Structure 1
Amino acid sequence: MKRLMRSNLCHLLEQAAHMRGSAAALTYKNTTCGYDELFLRVCSFASGLAAIGLARDERVAILLEKRIETVVAIFGTAAAGGVFVPINTLLRPQQVAYILADCNVSVLVTTPERLAELAKHPDACAGVAHVILVGAEPAEANEAVANSFATHDWASLPASDVAPLPATIDMDMAAILYTSGSTGKPKGVVLSHRNLIVGGESVSQYLENTSSDTILSVLPLSFDAGLSQLTTAFNVGAHVVLVNYLLPADVVRLCTRHSITGITGVPPLWIQLADQTWPAETAARLRYFANTGGRMPKATLDKLRQRFPKALPYLMYGLTEAFRSTYLDPAQIDRRPDSIGKAIPNAEILVLRPDGSRCAPGEEGELVHRGPLVALGYWNDPKRTAERFRPVFAQEAGWRAPELAVFSGDTVVADEEGFLFFVGRRDEMIKTSGYRVSPTEVEEVAYGTGLVRDAVALGVEDPTLGQRIVLIASPAGDLPLDQTGLLSAIRQQLPQYMVPASVFEMSAIPTTPNGKFDRVSLRARLSS
C-alpha cells in the first residue's frame, strides 16, 4: 500500500493501523487494543479536543499513570494539532502546578483523585480552561473541586471516527518534556513532530525492531526514553505492554505472561532485575535489553548477559534535548565495555573544542549532537536555548544558513576508530536512578524547611543509583542540625528519587573567592 507522509506523530499510528489492522498494539493489565481500535480511539479523542475548542499549538497536560487512555491522549493531542505535556505522576502538586503555569496549559487530562490532590495547592490550575477526568462518573465530573475550568468526563467527550485534519507540518511543536534545570526549576524541552518520528525510525532501526516484537514499557512516558518505547514500537507495528513498575518480580512475571522480547531500562532497574530468578523460557525469549540514563555497572552487565544468553545488550547515551545520541553495537561490548558507542542512525556526534574546532582522537572535548533529532529549544527560555542550541560549521561553510546543534555540556573523548567514551559532566546536574536532578531544586526545599542556614546538594558516585544525593548543610540555629526532621520535611515536598540519601552537617560551608559555595572542595571532601 501507499506509504503515508509522516508529518504528524499520529501518522505513525495511522500507518500501523492500515498495515497491521487488529494486531495487538497496546496492552494494559487485562485489556489489549489492536492497532485499528487504538487509532479509532485516538481519532475520537482528537475530535473531542476540537469540540471543546483546542487551538493549534495549545498545550494539553497529561497527568496519568501509564494506561491506554494516557497513550490515546498523547497521540490524540498530536492529531488535534495540540502540544502534549506528559507529567510524571511522582511529582508533588507544587511541581505539577509550576509546569501547568510555565507552559500555559489549556487542557489537563487526569483522574479525580489526582485533581483533588492538585486542588490543595493554591491556584494550581489557574490558567487551565478544561479538565478531562479519566475514570470519573459524569456526576462526579460535574462536581469539580474548582469552578475556574470546565470539567469533562473522558467517556462523554464528543466522539468521531475521523480525527480533525491536523494543521501541522513536521517541524511544528508536538511535545514539551520537562526535565530539571540548573536554576532549580524544571525546564521544558520542546520537541517537534519530526523529532519524535525520526527518533522512532532511528531507534527501531538499530534495535532491529519488527512487528514480531513485544516491548515492555517500564519507564515513565514523561521521560524521553520512556516515550521512545511507543514511537519505536508503533513505527514497526510492534506490541507494547504498559506497566507501572512496582517490584522487580512483577517485571519477571509480566515478561513471562506476555512473551516479552525487548526491554529498555535504567541502571537501578537492571541491577534489581539481574538478581531475580528468571524462568529459562522467559529469559531465552528476550531478544535484546537496552540501558539508558547512566552507565550500567559492568558487574550488572555481566549478570544480565548470563541471565539472557540469547539477548543482545545495547548500551545507549542520550539527552532530552536530542532524544537519543549514541549506542554501542553489541558486537563491540567485549572490546569496549566502557564506550558509549557511536552516533545513532541519522545523527552525527561531534567532539568539539571550546572554539568550535574538532578534537583529535584521544583529545577531550564537548559532545555536540547534530541532525533531525535536535529539539526546538527550551520553552519560553531564549537565554538557555541560546546557550545550549548553537550553530555549527559556521567557519567551514560561510555560504550556508546556520544549522543549530545541541551542545550537551558533557565531556567525551573519541578513539582512533571513532568510538566515544564518556569523561564527565560540565554542569552540576545530578543523575540518579535515571533522572536528572537539579541541586538547586533540592537546596531550595531544604531552605524552605527553616532548619538550615546553608545547603549544598551534590551527587556522589554510587554503583546502584549512578549517583546518590548528599546534602551538606549547616544548622539554622545554635543547636545541632535535626537531620531526621530535615529529611522528613524534604520527603513531603519532593519525589523519593530527589530526596537526599544522607545529610552531612558542617558548621560553616566553605566558599570560593567569588562568594559561591565551593562545590569542588566539598565534593573532594566527600570522596576522601
Structure 2
Amino acid sequence: MPATDPNPDPRPLDHLPLMGAADALALVDRAGALDYTGLDRAVGALARALADRGLAPGARVASWLAKTRLASLLPLACARAGFVHVPVNPLLKRAQLAHILADSGAALLIAGPSRVATLEPGDRPADCALLIEDEAGAATLAAQSGLPPSSADPAGLAAILYTSGSTGRPKGVMLSHANLWLGAVSVAHYLRLGPDDRTLAVLPFSFDYGQNQLLSTWAAGGCVHPLDYLTARDVIRAVERHAITTLAGVPPLWVQLAEADWPAETAARLRRLTNSGGRLPVPLIRRLRALFPNADLYSMYGLTEAFRSTYLDPALVDAHPESIGRAIPFAEVMVVRADGSPTEAGEPGELVHAGPLVAQGYWRDEARTAHRFRPAPSHSRHGGTAVWSGDTVAVDGEGLLRFVGRDDEMIKTSGNRVSPTEVEEAAIATGLAAEAVAIGVADDRLGEAILLVLRGDPAQEAALRDALKRDLPNFMQPRAIVWRADLPRNANGKVDRAGLKAELAA
C-alpha cells in the first residue's frame, strides 16, 4: 500500500480525463489511440451529441454494446451531459433488455445494428428513442464542439447497474458520481496503479468490476485497452502486443488462462492480476503464482450495492489463499450477529459494509432497498446507511476475513450473479414444464453450475433446451436438467428448495 492515503474528496465522474498527463495514452482500441487530451475532447463531444437530443436532465441512457469506443466513453459522457448511464450486459437477450428498459424508464437506447435486429415489437417502450451505433459517426465526434467538464454534484445519480436478485428480475443499483469516483480512486490506490500501467479490459463494462477497469486506470493516469475476446489465446496475444501490465478476471476466465500456453516472456509482462466474482480454488492460485512470476495476485470480494468491500494484500496470498482480506480504502466492513453486535474471532456472521462506497439503493424499489440498505450497526465508526450483504463471513485473529457462504439463493456462475427465478420463469414460459427449480451446484470451472429441476415430460428436454438457448444468455444455461414426476414441498406448500439442493448435492 502506498504511504500516502488516497484523496477522500469526490469529484464529478467526468473529471477522470483530467487525472492523466495531457499527452499520455488513455485509451487504445480498434478505432485508434486517445491521449488524455483526446479522451477529454471525445467525452465532451459525445456529451454534446447526447445533450443535443433534447433529453431531460437526469434522463436514463441505456447502452447495449460490445467494447467499442462508444461503450468506453459513455460512462463519462453521460455524466458530463447530466444523464444517468444504464449499461446493459451485451450477453443478455432481448427479454432481459426489455425489462431493464421498462424498469429504468430509459429515454434512449444505444445499440449496435445486430442487437437491434433481435428486438421484437414491444421490447423497446414507445417513449424510448433508439440510436444505432455508428462507428464512423463515433469517430467524427472529436470534431464537434464538446461540453466542458461538468460541475455535477458528486452526490448526484450517475449510473444504474442492473444486478440479479435472489428472487424476481434484475434490480437497478443506483450509483452516484461519488460512489464511482471513490471506487476508482480506492482501487487505483491499493493496486498501486500508475501512469505507466496498461490495463487489458476483458470484463464487460455493464457491471461494477468490469467498468472499474476503465475508471481506476484513468484515475491513475494509465492506459486502457478494451478487448472482446473469444479464446484465451486472444488474451495472450493482446498482453504481448500492448505490453499489458494489469489483468482483471473472474474464476472461470482464470481457469482458461491457467490452462493456456503462455510464452514465458509474455507472462512475465504482467505486474498484477485481480480476481472477484467468486473465490479462486487454492490449486488455481498456486498455478497462477507459478505461471505469472512477476505479477501480484489480488483476491477481492465485493457486491454491486457497495462496489467492493475487501481485498487481500498479495504478500499474504501464499499464507492465506482462502482469505478475502481486509477492507479496501474508504470502506468500513463489519461482521455482525443477527442482533447487530460484533462477532468474535472465528465466529461466522453477516458482512455489513458502511461508508461512502455504499450505493443509493435500488431504483424505484423501496421494499428491496429497505431490506438491503439499513442503518449501520451501533458500533459502526462511519454510521449512516449500510449494506447488509446477506453473505456470511468470519474474521480470524489477524483481522483477515474468510468467506463462508451466501444466505440467499443466488447462483454465482462464471462471475455472474444469476437469479434462480429468472431461469425458472424462462423454463416455464416454454410451456414444456409445469414447475421449475434452478439451483447452483459446486463446479471447479464455473464456481457454481446451474442445475434445473423440472416437473414434466423428459421427452421435451431437447425442445426445452433449444428454447432456453434462444431466450437466455449462455451463462444462464443449465448444465444439467433433472426431470421429476413431483417436487418436494415444505409445510407451507412451497417447493422445498433447500431440501432439494441438499439432496442433489449428496
TM-score normalized by the length of structure 1: 0.91
* Change over 3 Å in CA distance of 1:311–1:164 after alignment to 2: closer
Instruction: Confirm whether residue 389 of structure 1 aligns to residue 348 of structure 2.
Output: no
Deviation at 1:136, TM superposition (A): 7.0
Q: Is contact 2:60-2:104 (8 Å) kept?
A: yes
**Partner residue of 1:495?**
473
Give the one of 473, 477, 482 matched to 2:454: 473
Give the one of 490, 501, 506 matched to 1:512: 490
Equivalent-residue separation in structure 2 for 1:461 and 1:423 (angstroms): 14
Deviations 1:176-203 (A, max 9, x none): 0011122321100010000000001111
Give the one of 8, 11, 18 matched to 1:14: 18
Deviation at 1:294, TM superposition (A): 0.2
**Partner residue of 1:295?**
279
Deviation at 1:101, TM superposition (A): 1.0
**Partner residue of 1:45?**
46
**Partner residue of 1:212?**
196
* Change over 3 Å in CA distance of 1:154–1:254 after alignment to 2: closer
**Partner residue of 1:443?**
424
**Partner residue of 1:65?**
66
Deviation at 1:486, TM superposition (A): 1.4
Question: After the TM superposition, which residues 70-219 of structure 1 pair with which residues of structure 2 at under 5 Å, given as runs?
Answer: 70-118=71-119, 120-128=120-128, 130-135=129-134, 154=138, 160-163=144-147, 166=150, 168-219=152-203
Letter of the aligned partner of 2:384 in structure 1?
E
**Partner residue of 1:463?**
444
Letter of the aligned partner of 2:288 in structure 1?
L
* Change over 3 Å in CA distance of 1:292–1:45 after alignment to 2: same
Deviations 1:378-412 (A, max 9, x none): 00001100100000144789xx9x60010100000
Letter of the aligned partner of 1:108 in structure 2?
L
* Change over 3 Å in CA distance of 1:309–1:157 after alignment to 2: closer
Deviation at 1:114, TM superposition (A): 2.1
Deviation at 1:521, TM superposition (A): 1.4
Q: Is contact 2:44-2:149 (8 Å) kept?
A: no
Instruction: Confirm whether residue 523 of structure 1 aligns to residue 501 of structure 2.
Output: yes
Q: Is contact 1:215-1:233 (8 Å) kept?
A: yes
Give the one of 306, 313, 333 matched to 1:329: 313
Q: Is contact 2:311-2:325 (8 Å) kept?
A: yes
Q: Is contact 2:42-2:141 (8 Å) kept?
A: no
* C-alpha RMSD over aligned residues: 2.0
> Secondary structure at 2:304's aligned position in 1?
coil
Deviation at 1:284, TM superposition (A): 1.1
Q: Is contact 2:197-2:222 (8 Å) kept?
A: yes
Equivalent-residue separation in structure 1 for 2:436 and 2:348 (angstroms): 32
Question: After the TM superposition, which residues 206-285 of structure 1 pair with which residues of structure 2 at under 5 Å, given as runs?
Answer: 206-285=190-269
**Partner residue of 1:356?**
340
> Secondary structure at 2:471's aligned position in 1?
coil
Equivalent-residue separation in structure 2 for 1:5 and 1:423 (angstroms): 34
Letter of the aligned partner of 1:99 in structure 2?
I
Deviation at 1:510, TM superposition (A): 0.3
Deviation at 1:310, TM superposition (A): 1.2
Q: Is contact 1:217-1:229 (8 Å) kept?
A: yes
Q: Is contact 2:14-2:150 (8 Å) kept?
A: no
Deviation at 1:443, TM superposition (A): 0.3
Deviations 1:326-346 (A, max 9, x none): 011111112211111110111
Give the one of 425, 431, 452 matched to 2:406: 425
Q: Is contact 1:184-1:444 (8 Å) kept?
A: no
> Secondary structure at 2:58's aligned position in 1?
coil
Deviation at 1:482, TM superposition (A): 1.9
Q: Is contact 1:6-1:12 (8 Å) kept?
A: no
**Partner residue of 1:150?**
none
Equivalent-residue separation in structure 2 for 1:45 and 1:159 (angstroms): 10
Of 255-264 and 62-71, deviating more is 62-71
Deviations 1:141-197 (A, max 9, x none): xxxxxxxxxxxx657879644415635210110000011122321100010000000
Equivalent-residue separation in structure 1 for 2:501 and 2:472 (angstroms): 23
Letter of the aligned partner of 1:132 in structure 2?
L
Deviations 1:230-282 (A, max 9, x none): 11100011011100121111000000000110101000000000011112221
Q: Is contact 2:277-2:301 (8 Å) kept?
A: yes
Letter of the aligned partner of 1:207 in structure 2?
L
* Change over 3 Å in CA distance of 1:262–1:395 after alignment to 2: closer
* Change over 3 Å in CA distance of 1:515–1:481 after alignment to 2: farther
Deviations 1:405-447 (A, max 9, x none): 1010000011112110111100000000000000000000110
Of 229-238 and 102-111, deviating more is 102-111
Q: Is contact 2:455-2:484 (8 Å) kept?
A: yes
Equivalent-residue separation in structure 2 for 1:481 and 1:190 (angstroms): 44
Equivalent-residue separation in structure 2 for 1:98 and 1:111 (angstroms): 19
Deviations 1:104-133 (A, max 9, x none): 111222223322222x242423221x3222
Q: Is contact 1:48-1:158 (8 Å) kept?
A: no
Letter of the aligned partner of 2:358 in structure 1?
V
Deviation at 1:6, TM superposition (A): 4.9
Equivalent-residue separation in structure 1 for 2:19 and 2:294 (angstroms): 31
Deviation at 1:502, TM superposition (A): 0.5
Letter of the aligned partner of 2:165 in structure 1?
G
* Change over 3 Å in CA distance of 1:122–1:359 after alignment to 2: same
Q: Is contact 1:93-1:121 (8 Å) kept?
A: no
Letter of the aligned partner of 1:446 in structure 2?
A
> Secondary structure at 2:204's aligned position in 1?
coil
Deviation at 1:352, TM superposition (A): 0.8
* Change over 3 Å in CA distance of 1:4–1:469 after alignment to 2: closer
**Partner residue of 1:28?**
29
Equivalent-residue separation in structure 2 for 1:133 and 1:520 (angstroms): 45
Question: After the TM superposition, which residues 301-380 of structure 1 pair with which residues of structure 2 at under 5 Å, given as runs?
Answer: 301-380=285-364
Q: Is contact 1:371-1:405 (8 Å) kept?
A: yes
Of 425-434 and 154-163, deviating more is 154-163
Deviation at 1:21, TM superposition (A): 1.4
Equivalent-residue separation in structure 1 for 2:254 and 2:167 (angstroms): 31
Deviation at 1:5, TM superposition (A): 7.5
**Partner residue of 1:148?**
none
Equivalent-residue separation in structure 1 for 2:233 and 2:492 (angstroms): 51
> Secondary structure at 2:481's aligned position in 1?
strand
Instruction: Confirm whether residue 413 of structure 1 aligns to residue 413 of structure 2.
Output: no
* Runs of 5+ consecutive residues of structure 2 not aligned to the other structure: 1-6
Q: Is contact 1:4-1:15 (8 Å) kept?
A: no
